[in-house]
Structure 1
């Protein structure tokens, strides 16, 4: 079982079940048959992530998530930067709960590290289907455990 960590840059993640979310993220790697060494989720503001987008990807626009694969040994090591501001806004726009939108981006980052892409329409559909699968699985497990 790999290590999953949550960090705050300039925003805190405020949700229940952080331990369950970390377990669910770890389970993605197991189910996708990938070895996870470590994944660090860093929660930040729009401005913080915009600067990362500019500095590392030469993109000048807001995004909800940026994933960096830092693997240099067998197994996956990565950093996933998530804009809490963007997640809150996306939850409203997509008419979903804040928790489900948080799960979507957390699982999205894990899926990227497992090799899933999302640049082309078929890739986006597959990515969304896997996100939905893991979100539903999270809720079923949570209900079973009464969390």
Structure 2
């Protein structure tokens, strides 16, 4: 059964950044869950500042450092995936510059990164991080076309 409600939401606590093709991005995210064979219910993205995400990092993860993304899996055991993904636009801008990448591609890297976490991919070990990067690159190339 296909839901008629919009089960992917974008919320903007920080608004001063370009983000086009939102509808296409939502469709692509749904396709990622299908490709990874992970049942999907709903997902909220919250685009925010470094300071906002730092407070979440301190309060919920007991980490005292800036990060570009924090993903929370809010799913009940055995239920389809429900999640929240917080993205620091400040970090995305800095990372794009530091990695000589476009802002759009870096933004989508972290958007897809959150989906991959919700699909069960980690990034704590060198092996996990390598697999995560390969998956990110795979989905970025599918979304944007090969570089």
| Greater share of helix | 1
Give distance in 2, aligned partners of 1:12 and 1:32.
Answer: 32
Q: Is the 8 A contact 2:40 2:82 kept in 1?
A: yes
Distance 1:84 1:57 in 2: 20
- Which ranges of 4 or more aligned residues in structure 1 deviate by more than 6 Å? none
Distance 1:6 1:98 in 2: 17
Q: Which runs of 5+ in 1 are unaligned?
A: 141-147
Once the two structures are superposed, residues 1-22 of structure 1 have per-residue CA deviations (whole angstroms, 9 ceiling, x without a partner) of: 6721110124455221111111
For structure 2, the residue ranges without an aligned partner over 5 or more in a row are none
Provide the C-alpha distance between the structure 1 equivalents of 2:102 and 2:66, rounded to a whole number of angstroms: 21
The TM-score with structure 2 as length reference comes to 0.91
RMSD of aligned C-alpha atoms? 1.6
Aligned residues: 141
TM-score when normalising by structure 1: 0.91
Aligned partner (choices 79, 84, 90) of residue 85 of structure 1: 90
* 1:25 matched to 2:29: yes
